Structure 1
Amino acid sequence: MTGPSLSSETLHVSCVAKDGRAILIAGRSGAGKSDLALRLIDRGAKLVSDDYTVLKRVDGRLVATPPRNIAGKMEVRGVGLIEFDAVGDVPVCLAVDLDRDVERLPEMHDPLVVAGVKVPVIGLSALEPSAPVKVELALAQFGLTVT
C-alpha cells in the first residue's frame, strides 16, 4: 500500500469520515471494504468514497475526496448501488488494511505513505462483528489529529 511521492493519487480504497477525520479502508476485492464502511456509516460516519478514493497532499496533510463519477454511491453487495450523502476534502487520519496480519497488541510501525504523507495503519479483519468499534478505537488511539 505504498505509493510514490506525488501531490495526488487515486487508490483502490473505500473511505469514510468520522468526526471530520477520514479513515481509509484498503484490501483485496471481496475483503469487506464496503461492508466495513457501511457498518461505520451505520454508527455515524459519513461516506467519502466507495472502492476508489482520490487522495491529495494539501499543506502537508493527506485529504480524501470521492472521484466525481462515483461520488455519493456505494455498492452494497446483495442490494445494489445505493445513494448516500457524501463528504469530501476530509483530512486522512488512519488507514485500515484488511490484508495485513492482525496483531494482538499492535505497535504503530510501517505507516502508509501516499502522496508523500505518512498515515498510521492497522491490520483488521473487516467481517468481525466488533470491527467498526475497533476502527473507532484505533482512530482515537493511533489516528492523526486535525488542528
Structure 2
Amino acid sequence: MPRIVSSDMTQLHANCVAFDGQGVLLRGPSGSGKSDLSLRLVSRGAQLVSDDRTDIFIQDGKLQATAPETLIGMIEVRGIGIVAGLAQCSQAEIRVIVDLVEPGAHDIIARMPEPATETLHGVNVPLWKFFAFENSAPDKIETVLALATGKMRIVS
C-alpha cells in the first residue's frame, strides 16, 4: 500500500497496534508501558503499526494510523534497545483509544465506566483507561476492540 502523505495529518505521542487492520491507539506518558504492551500484543497476533509516535489522518472517512517514515517497523524495547523485525502493518483504521494510567491511580479507572469517546479529525472513537502492566491488559485490549467492531457487546 502506498504511503499516504496528507496536509491534514497529525502526529501523536502514542503507539498503535492492529489486529486484522483494526487499530488500537495506545497513549500515555513516557514509561507508562506503551511499548511493553505493544510487544505483548504482537506476541498475541497483533501487528505493530507505530511505536512512540503515530501519524493520524482521515482516508475515505475513516481515521487511520501509520508510523512516521523514519520509525517504520521499529520499536524500543526497554532494557534491550531499538529493534526491528516484529510483525508489522503499514496502516490501520483506529477503532479504539486506550489511555494508559499510572499504577496506583485506581480512582481514575472506574469499575464499570460509562461509555466514553474522543473525537479525532471529526471521528468519534471509543476511549478506555487501563494500567499497561496488569497481566490482563492484553485481554482487555482485545475485549474493547471486539466491542468496537461489534463482535462483543456490553450487557447493561
TM superposition score normalised by structure 2:
0.83
Cα offset, 1:97, TM superposition:
0.4
Residue of structure 2 equivalent to 1:15: 16
How big is the alpha-carbon RMSD for the aligned residues of Structure 1 and Structure 2?
Answer: 1.6
**Number of positions where the alignment pairs a residue of Structure 1 with one of Structure 2:** 138
Residue 120 of structure 1 pairs with residue 122 of structure 2: no
Runs of 4+ deviating beyond 4 Å: none
Which of the numbers 109, 112, 118 marks the counterpart of 1:102? 109
Percent identity, please.
43
Structure with larger Rg: 2
One-letter code aligned to 1:95? I
Cα offset, 1:144, TM superposition:
4.4
Q: Could you tell me whether the CA contact under 8 Å between 2:42 and 2:87 is conserved in 1?
A: no
Structure 2: runs of 5+ lacking an equivalent:
1-6, 103-107, 151-156
CA distance in 1, matches of 2:149, 2:54: 19
Q: Could you tell me whether the CA contact under 8 Å between 1:8 and 1:115 is conserved in 2?
A: no
Cα deviation code 1:13-44 (max 9, x no counterpart): 00000122000000011110001111000100
Please give the secondary structure, in 1, of the residue aligned with 2:37.
Answer: helix
One-letter code aligned to 1:14? N
Residue of structure 2 equivalent to 1:138: 144
Cα offset, 1:88, TM superposition:
1.9
Cα offset, 1:71, TM superposition:
0.3
Q: Could you tell me whether the CA contact under 8 Å between 1:9 and 1:114 is conserved in 2?
A: no
Q: Could you tell me whether the CA contact under 8 Å between 1:11 and 1:53 is conserved in 2?
A: yes
CA distance in 1, matches of 2:83, 2:22: 23
Cα offset, 1:68, TM superposition:
0.5
RCO greater where, 1 or 2, for CA within 8 Å and sep 6 or more? Answer: 1
